[in-house]
Amino acid sequence: MSDTTVHPILLCGGAGTRLWPVSRKSYPKQFTNMLGDQSLFQASALRLTGPGFAAPVVVTGGDFRFVVTEQLAGVETQAGAILIEPAARNTAPAILAAALHLAAEDPDAAMLVAPSDHVMGDDAGFRDAVRAALPAALEGRIVTFGIRPDRPETGYGWLELEQATEATAPVPLKGFVEKPALAEAQRMLADGRYLWNAGIFLFTAGTLIAAFETHQPAMLAAVRAAVAGAATDLSFTRLDAAAWDVLEDISIDYAVMEKADNLSVLPYGGAWSDLGDWDAILREGNPDERGVVRQGPATALDCDDTLLRSESDALEIVGIGLKDVIAVATPDAVLIADRARSQEVKAAVARLKEKGVPQAETLPRDYRPWGWYESLAVGDRFQVKRIVVTPGAALSLQSHVHRSEHWIVVEGTARVTVDGDVKLVTENQSVYIPLGAVHRMENPGKVPMVLIEVQTGRYLGEDDITRYDDVYARGQGAKG
């Protein structure tokens, strides 16, 4: 590898609906421990660190900006920049915004664009592949990474080469193939000239910007305006919403890659999965001798080729005599599906949204910059929550129009402000927050603080909040 520094671009704006009910719009799969003790986002960030790699540029949505910083801190790293998309517009605008951001400092900056929800079995091997692809990228090529296939996969796009090759350096790319039917996938697998499209790219910022100048000039103008009008928000960069709003929702493949004439592909033979559905989780989850994967409290009796996963220590999932079944249980939803139809979970989520079912998009646990909370019981005029505040964190100074609250500390110590009166509340102590009182909760300790909150009132929605001061600069609204 030359002395050129590679700038990883981590995209983490997707919803991951095919992995419902664990992955939801409110907390998608990239931030979840789908496999192992790290989230997919954390594993992706660590994969692209080390000699020759700069701190990553992360592109994400506003609701996840603090999740990104917290998860990076959890693996002792930090971002070079975090760009906030005002709205999801697919991969083309997101990648172009990152390119323009880097080009402001160095038009020749080498960019490695990678989704943050993929898994690879050999991180060092992938970094070697990046090094092998770098010379072509520095010469003005757009290099995409193609995975050598081991099955006739119908859930991926494919890449067509001019000829079958064992090369481990970039070779010419003939074309893109949409997700195929099974017979076509079987033909391509046998042919040997086809690779899976991993959606990972390496190029210089200037090369990509030039491609947009040629193929998407209107998009380039709009994204350029969004970057030029960006505002600093704490440690984040918020792209301009007005300029961003006019952008088309389009992938980088459709916008540029399928039109460009300077594409190469680097064949990669290492293990890879986009974890695009529950069948992928079953394949990657270390099945036992009968093909069964058990995750969380799960028991299998006489089962074959089946995934049993429970997200709650208090919920044991039991399978008896199952074959080719996906069974996933969370505290508020259960998925049971034929393994062969796991791609259809996305359609099920759409049906739930049509019915107005809250489980379609939101988890029982709601993550905030200061920690998280979950509802334990809900009635017509009351709600009981468990609230966990991380050490040193503080909720906003706020009031409510429609509800009063009663806080009982069960772990740690809370510093509580009520109408200017500040006091410490320790374990087994409580405090009452009258309706309309201006209040705040903080954790001054070194361990997480846990309390039980009992809300009473005629309206208990999260949007009944007026913020007067907030260390996270969230503004007004449920999350800000």
List C-alpha distances in Å: 458 to 55, 95, 380.
48, 46, 8
- Is the model more confident about 121 or about 187? 187
Confidence of residue 262 (pLDDT cuts 50, 70, 90): very high
Tokens of 274: 């986009």
pLDDT mean across residues, the chain:
94
Tokens of 109: 């900056």
Distance between CA 150 and CA 121 in Å, rounded?
15
Distance between CA 271 and CA 60 in Å, rounded?
26
Q: Which domains does the chain have, with CATH numbers?
A: 6-273 (3.90.550.10), 289-354 (no CATH), 365-469 (2.60.120.10)
List C-alpha distances in Å: 304 to 78, 278, 290, 315, 394.
42, 15, 5, 22, 48
pLDDT higher than 90, residue 238: yes
Confidence of residue 2 (pLDDT cuts 50, 70, 90): low
Mean pLDDT of 87-92: 94
Distance between CA 461 and CA 62 in Å, rounded?
21
pLDDT digits (tens, 9 = 90+) for 305-349: 999 999 999 999 999 999 999 999 999 999 999 999 998 999 999
DSSP 198-243: EEEEEEEHHHHHHHHHHH-HHHHHHHHHHHHT-EEETTEEEPPHHH
pLDDT digits (tens, 9 = 90+) for 139-154: 999 999 999 999 999 9
Indicate the pTM of the whole model: 0.89
Distance between CA 160 and CA 146 in Å, rounded?
9
Q: Which of 90, 14, 12 is nearest to 248 (CA)?
A: 90
Distance between CA 227 and CA 457 in Å, rounded?
44
Distance between CA 433 and CA 411 in Å, rounded?
19
pLDDT higher than 90, residue 121: no
> What is the percentage of the chain residues whose pLDDT exceeds 70?
99
pLDDT digits (tens, 9 = 90+) for 22-61: 999 989 999 999 998 899 999 999 999 989 999 999 999 9
Preceding peptide of 21 cis, ω within 30°: yes
- Is the model more confident about 476 or about 138? 138
Q: Which of 397, 403, 401, 443 is nearest to 420 (CA)?
A: 397
In the chain the first and final C-alpha atoms are separated, in Å, by: 44
